[in-house]
């Protein structure tokens, strides 16, 4: 994969914007968790929205987080680009309105932050920094360096500077949900940036309370649908969001659309990611939606129909 400097900066924003974890006596989070499937991280860049793919592995104890993220170039997560590990502390705050039982969490990365490039292009990108401004030695594929003390100027990491992200998390049926990531790849750097929706969960590997998750558990998304489109010329973005809110409310009546994340990139392209209980459920509800004349009456004035791009895939659950 040939990565330009702009796309490498986009990847850096994607990784540093990844979620992390916390512990509180009212929710059972202890142990090790990992991604249930290859995860999509759509990002907005100079050339429009671009997909990045990610797998996460987390181990945490009271007051302690250790995270391991691997980013890939392909939707099957078979071509790694880089690995990132970090550790630090957390503060669990009050209840969140995102889901029943969800909590607001502040993550503080204040212990270590390591990078391991897994492709020549990314190693070269890291080596473009001034000497000593990103790691202590020259970067090479497969070699890990801790950049917490040195910082990494080309990835926007300041030296010896703890960072805080403002998160939400939710545990249900042995799965751990984090807030949906901003579509433009920006970190959750202010309290007002705290997510208002959830993303695909992690599954528990060990530790914590043992729970059996049935194959028909409606909290576990088995199919993901991704829609890209442009709004019609002169359309109000607020009207587009209101349209999705109305449609989502109607779709939620049958409990097969688990989550929906909607965002607009800097180039005006919209992203809609739908998490479904299964592909047949998605197809059934989408077929029913064809008869919702009242709900879709305004769609023609809001969306450019020629711009639609639709993909979907099973999560493997």
Mean pLDDT of 242-263: 76
Q: What is the 3-state secondary structure (H, E, C) of 14-60?
A: HHHCCCCCCCECCECCCEEEEECCCEECCEEECCEEECCEEEEEEEE
User: In this structure, what is the dihedral angle of CA atoms 192, 196, 202, 206, given to the nearest 10 degrees?
Assistant: 70
* Helix (H/G/I), strand (E/B), else coil: 196: coil
Q: How confident is the model over 185-235, as pLDDT tens digits?
A: 667 777 888 888 888 888 877 554 433 333 344 456 788 888 888 888 888
Give dist(CA 65, CA 60) in Å, integer: 5
Decide if 199 contacts 193 (C-beta within 8 A). no
Give dist(CA 161, CA 214) in Å, integer: 43
Spell out the alpha helix ranges (H) of the chain.
5-16, 120-127, 237-251, 279-289, 293-296, 299-302
Q: How confident is the model over 290-312, as pLDDT tens digits?
A: 787 777 777 777 888 888 888 88
> Tell me, what's the pLDDT at 212?
38
For residue 80, the surrounding DSSP H or E stretch is: strand 80-95
pTM higher than 0.85, yes or no?
no
Q: How confident is the model over 13-66, as pLDDT tens digits?
A: 333 333 333 344 456 777 788 988 888 876 655 566 667 788 999 887 788 889
Decide if 106 contacts 93 (C-beta within 8 A). yes
Give dist(CA 142, CA 138) in Å, integer: 12
| 11-17-23 Cα angle (round to 5) | 145
Q: In 3D, which of 158, 68, 71, 155 has the Cα closest to residue 110?
A: 158
Give dist(CA 221, CA 260) in Å, integer: 11
Give dist(CA 175, CA 33) in Å, integer: 8
């Amino acid at each position: 994969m040939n990565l330009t400097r702009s796309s490498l900066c986009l990847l850096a924003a994607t990784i540093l914007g990844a979620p992390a974890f916390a512990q509180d006596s009212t929710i059972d989070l202890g142990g090790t968790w990992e991604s249930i499937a290859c995860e999509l991280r759509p990002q907005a860049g100079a050339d429009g929205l671009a997909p990045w793919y990610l797998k996460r592995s987390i181990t945490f104890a009271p007051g302690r987080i250790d995270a391991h993220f691997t980013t890939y170039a392909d939707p099957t997560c078979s071509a790694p680009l880089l690995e990132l590990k970090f550790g630090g502390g957390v503060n669990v705050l009050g209840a969140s309105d995102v889901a029943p039982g969800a909590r607001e969490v502040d993550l503080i990365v204040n212990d270590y932050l390591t990078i391991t490039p897994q492709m020549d292009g990314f190693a070269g990108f890291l080596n473009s920094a001034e000497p000593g401004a990103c790691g202590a030695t020259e970067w090479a594929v497969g070699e890990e360096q801790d950049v917490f003390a040195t910082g990494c100027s080309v990835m926007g990491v300041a030296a010896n500077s703890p960072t805080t992200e403002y998160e939400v998390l939710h545990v249900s049926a042995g799965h751990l949900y984090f807030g949906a990531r901003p579509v433009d790849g920006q970190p959750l750097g202010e309290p007002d940036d705290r997510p208002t929706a959830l993303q695909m969960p992690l599954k528990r590997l060990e530790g914590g309370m043992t729970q059996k998750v049935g194959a028909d558990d409606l909290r576990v998304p088995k199919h993901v649908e991704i829609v890209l489109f442009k709004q019609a010329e002169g359309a109000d973005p607020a009207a587009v969001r209101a349209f999705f809110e109305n449609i989502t409310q109607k779709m939620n009546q049958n409990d097969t659309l688990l989550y929906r994340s909607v965002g607009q990139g800097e180039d005006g392209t919209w992203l809609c990611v739908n998490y479904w209980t299964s592909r047949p459920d998605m197809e059934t509800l989408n077929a029913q939606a064809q008869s919702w004349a009242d709900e879709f009456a305004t769609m023609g004035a809001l969306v450019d129909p020629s711009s639609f791009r639709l993909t979907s895939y099973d999560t493997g659950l």
